[in-house]
Amino acid sequence: MQALVYTGKEKLEYKEFKDPNLVDGESIIKVSASGICGSDMHAYHGKDERRIPPLILGHEVSGTIEKGSQKGKKVVLNPLITCGDCDYCESAREHLCTKRVLLGMNRPIERQGCFAELVLTPDKNIYELPSGLDIKQAPIAEPTAVALHAVEIAEKNSIKTFDKSKILIIGGGAIGLLCALILEKYKKCGNITLVEPNEKRLKVCSNYLDTETLKPDDKKITTDNFDLVFDTVGLEITRQNSIKSISPGGTIVHIGLTQPSGIFDFRKATLQEITFIGTYCYTNNDFGNTLKLLSSKILGNLEWIEYRSLSKGAEAFKEIHDGTCSAPKIILIP
């Protein structure tokens, strides 16, 4: 098969790669579409110890079962593979499973990813494509599930209800935009601001949201002014902006993984009783609910997605790296 292979720091090659071999309890999927995730970019930059070249990246994927018990079925994959037997898995918090692995990772267990013509996945991670969802748009289900999980954690833990909260979203990539869409269209929130430094991307977000969209240094982004902050970037500077912007008693939901550490105002967090929540991935229940949400078109037409040929995938990564890409999400088509 042909695949886009991560071969070294900021290096991707479109080349021949060995086909996956079918094993019991799994299926081989002929890939229809696969999305570029922020974690793929971390690997591309040589900053992910779980993804070591050579490796096929990619875990946001849709396709058709080519080999397996349900051959011919159009499907969407949940790429988070868990043990199914631990306390976390048995309590519907399988995303916290300590044995979890992801498609497109080779530490601690190798699982080749989806930037290829074929991918092998456990049958338990396969979901039938809903009738209302285009197969080429379907990879957006994975980041949408991440956003839905984050929003619902915020709703559960915030002191104020959403309808009485002033909300700030930091980052206009796919997760930030999807958080805003879920809050607006699904949760019916009315007082939301999204900030993004990339002017092209900010314009795209503004075209699909009623939410106010601003640059991060806009004078409207003031200290102690927001009841709820979603940091979808995860840089030291965005964490600093989160703690500056949050009001006393407020909640920060931290989704981004860009920088693992840095300076943070713990004094303010303590004196003003700020709740800080880290959130990772989603549960199986979140993923199923996401497919219902997307197929119902509640979040809109998804025309903010851009599509590129898998053979040109290296160019797409370079555009994202250079900051010249306006699209919150690029999906690659084999």
Report d(CA 79, CA 103) in Å as an integer. Answer: 5
315 inside domain? yes
CB atoms within 10 A of CB 308: 17
86 inside domain? yes
CB atoms within 10 A of CB 100: 19
User: Region 75-81: what's the mean pLDDT?
Assistant: 98
Give residue-wise pLDDT tens across range 274-303. Answer: 999 999 999 999 999 999 999 999 999 999
Report d(CA 274, CA 277) in Å as an integer. Answer: 10
User: Based on the domain organization, do 118 and 210 belong to the same domain?
Assistant: no
**pTM for this entry:** 0.97
User: Based on the domain organization, do 260 and 166 belong to the same domain?
Assistant: yes
Q: How many domains does the chain have?
A: 2
Give the bridge partners for 251, in sequence order.
228, 275
CB atoms within 10 A of CB 287: 25
Residue 40 has a pLDDT of 97
Give residue-wise pLDDT tens across range 25-49. Answer: 999 999 999 999 999 999 999 999 9
User: Based on the domain organization, do 41 and 161 belong to the same domain?
Assistant: no
Q: For the chain, what is the mean pLDDT?
A: 97
Residue 204 has a pLDDT of 97
Q: Hey, is 122 helix, strand or coil?
A: strand
Which of 30, 19, 20, 68 minimizes the C-alpha distance to 334? 30
User: Region 61-65: what's the mean pLDDT?
Assistant: 98
Residue-number span of the structural domain to which 185 is assigned: 144-278
Residue 109 has a pLDDT of 92
297 inside domain? no
User: Based on the domain organization, do 132 and 161 belong to the same domain?
Assistant: no
User: Region 137-155: what's the mean pLDDT?
Assistant: 98
